[in-house]
Chains A and B, each alone.
Chain A
Amino acid sequence: MTDALFEYAPAPESRDLVDIRSSYGLFIGGEWVDSLGDERGKSINPATEEVLAEIAYAGQPDVDRAVDAARKAYDSVWSRMPGSERAKYLFRIARVIQERARELAVLESIDNGKPIRESRDIDLPLVAAHFFYYAGWADKLGYAGFGPEPRPLGVAAQVIPWNFPLLMLAWKIAPALACGNTVVLKPAETTPLTALLFAEICRQADLPPGVVNIVTGAGGTGQALVTHPGVDKVAFTGSTEVGRLIARGVAGTRKRLTLELGGKAANIVFEDAPIDQAVEGIVNGIFFNQGHVCCAGSRLLVQESVEAELLAALKRRLGTLRLGDPLDKNTDIGAINSSAQLEKIRSLSAEGEAEGAARWSPPCVLPDRGFWFPPTLFTGVSQSHRIAREEIFGPVLSVLTFRTPAEAVEKANNTPYGLSAGVWTEKGSRILWMAARLRAGVVWANTFNRFDPASPFGGYKESGYGREGGRHGLEAYLEV
Chain B
Amino acid sequence: MSERLAVRKTYKLFIGGAFPRSESGRSYVVTSAKGDFIANAARASRKDARDAVVAARKAFGRWSGATPYNRGQILYRIAEMLEGRRSEFADEFEGTVRRTRGKDGKDAAKRASDEVDAAIDRLVWYAGWSDKIAAVHGSANPIAGPYFNFSQPEPAGVVAVLGPTSLLGLISTVAPVVVTGNTCVVVCERAPLAAITLAEVLAVSDLPGGVVNILTGHLAELAPWLASHMDVNGIDLTGADERLAAECEVAAAGNLKRVLRPGQDDWSADPGVGRMTAFLETKTVWHPIGV
Is there direct touching of A and B in the complex, by C-beta distance under 8 Å? yes
Residues of chain A at the chain B interface (Cβ within 8 Å): 129, 145, 240, 243-245, 247-248, 251-252, 259, 261, 416, 431, 435-436, 440-447, 450, 452, 454-458, 460-462, 464-465, 467, 470-472, 475, 480
Q: Separation in Å of the A446 CB from the closest CB of chain B?
A: 6
Write out the residue numbers on chain A whose beta carbons fall within 8 Å of the beta carbon of B277.
475
Write out the residue numbers on chain A whose beta carbons fall within 8 Å of the beta carbon of B139.
470-472
Task: Given the known inter-chain contacts A251-B249, A416-B255, A480-B274, please indicate yes or no for A455 contacting B287, CB distance below 8 A.
Answer: no
Asked whether B143 is an interface residue with its Cβ less than 8 Å from the other chain, the reply is yes
B256: contacting residue among A244, A450, A452, A455, CB under 8 A: A244
CA distance A248 to B246 in the complex (A): 9
Task: Given the known inter-chain contacts A454-B142, A455-B141, A462-B256, please indicate yes or no for A443 contacting B286, CB distance below 8 A.
Answer: yes
CA distance A145 to B135 in the complex (A): 12
Contact A247 B286 (CB under 8 A): no
Q: Separation in Å of the B195 CB from the closest CB of chain A?
A: 27
CA distance A465 to B249 in the complex (A): 14
Could you list some 30 contacts between A and B, CB below 8 A? A129-B144, A145-B137, A244-B253, A244-B254, A247-B249, A248-B253, A251-B252, A252-B242, A252-B246, A252-B249, A259-B256, A416-B255, A435-B285, A443-B284, A444-B285, A445-B287, A446-B287, A450-B147, A452-B145, A454-B141, A454-B143, A455-B151, A455-B284, A456-B151, A461-B256, A465-B256, A465-B258, A470-B151, A470-B284, A472-B139
Write out the residue numbers on chain B whose beta carbons fall within 8 Å of the beta carbon of A452.
141, 143-145, 149
Asked whether B282 is an interface residue with its Cβ less than 8 Å from the other chain, the reply is yes
Q: Separation in Å of the B124 CB from the closest CB of chain A?
A: 23
CA distance A446 to B252 in the complex (A): 36
Asked whether B136 is an interface residue with its Cβ less than 8 Å from the other chain, the reply is yes
Task: Given the known inter-chain contacts A261-B256, A461-B233, please indicate yes or no for A455 contacting B250, CB distance below 8 A.
Answer: no
Task: Given the known inter-chain contacts A247-B253, A455-B149, A456-B141, please indicate yes or no for A447 contacting B156, CB distance below 8 A.
Answer: no
Contact A467 B136 (CB under 8 A): no
Q: Separation in Å of the A138 CB from the closest CB of chain B?
A: 18
- How many residues of B are counted as interface, with CB atoms below 8 angstroms from the partner's CB atoms? 36
Contact A464 B282 (CB under 8 A): no
CB-nearest residue of chain B to A145: B136
Q: B263-291, CB under 8 A of A: which get 1 and which 0?
A: 00000000000100100011111111000
B255: contacting residue among A435, A455, A461, A467, CB under 8 A: A461
Contact B284 A441 (CB under 8 A): yes
Contact B250 A442 (CB under 8 A): no
Write out the residue numbers on chain A whose beta carbons fall within 8 Å of the beta carbon of B137.
145
Contact A445 B286 (CB under 8 A): yes
Interface of A, secondary structure class, is mixed
Task: Given the known inter-chain contacts A252-B245, A252-B249, please indicate yes or no for A455 contacting B283, CB distance below 8 A.
Answer: no
Q: Separation in Å of the A150 CB from the closest CB of chain B?
A: 12
Question: Which of A442, A455, A457, A471 neighbours the largest number of chain B CB atoms within 10 Å of its CB?
Answer: A455
Q: Separation in Å of the A417 CB from the closest CB of chain B?
A: 10
Q: Separation in Å of the A40 CB from the closest CB of chain B?
A: 32
Write out the residue numbers on chain B whose beta carbons fall within 8 Å of the beta carbon of A456.
141, 151, 282, 284
Contact A470 B141 (CB under 8 A): yes
Contact A442 B256 (CB under 8 A): no
Question: Which of B141, B142, B242, B254 neighbours the largest number of chain A CB atoms within 10 Å of its CB?
Answer: B141
Write out the residue numbers on chain A whose beta carbons fall within 8 Å of the beta carbon of B252.
247, 251
Q: Separation in Å of the A470 CB from the closest CB of chain B?
A: 6
Write out the residue numbers on chain B whose beta carbons fall within 8 Å of the beta carbon of A475.
277
Q: Separation in Å of the A439 CB from the closest CB of chain B?
A: 8
Contact B282 A455 (CB under 8 A): no
Write out the residue numbers on chain B whose beta carbons fall within 8 Å of the beta carbon of A442.
283-286
Q: Separation in Å of the B242 CB from the closest CB of chain A?
A: 8
Q: B227-255, CB under 8 A of A: which get 1 and which 0?
A: 00000010000000010011101101111
Q: B129-142, CB under 8 A of A: which get 1 and which 0?
A: 00000001101011
Q: Separation in Å of the A436 CB from the closest CB of chain B?
A: 8
Q: Separation in Å of the A179 CB from the closest CB of chain B?
A: 17
Contact A444 B286 (CB under 8 A): yes
Write out the residue numbers on chain A whose beta carbons fall within 8 Å of the beta carbon of B254.
244
Write out the residue numbers on chain B whose beta carbons fall within 8 Å of the beta carbon of A243.
256
Write out the residue numbers on chain B whose beta carbons fall within 8 Å of the beta carbon of A431.
287
Contact A464 B287 (CB under 8 A): no
Write out the residue numbers on chain B whose beta carbons fall within 8 Å of the beta carbon of A458.
282
Contact A447 B147 (CB under 8 A): yes
Write out the residue numbers on chain B whose beta carbons fall within 8 Å of the beta carbon of A470.
139, 141, 151, 284
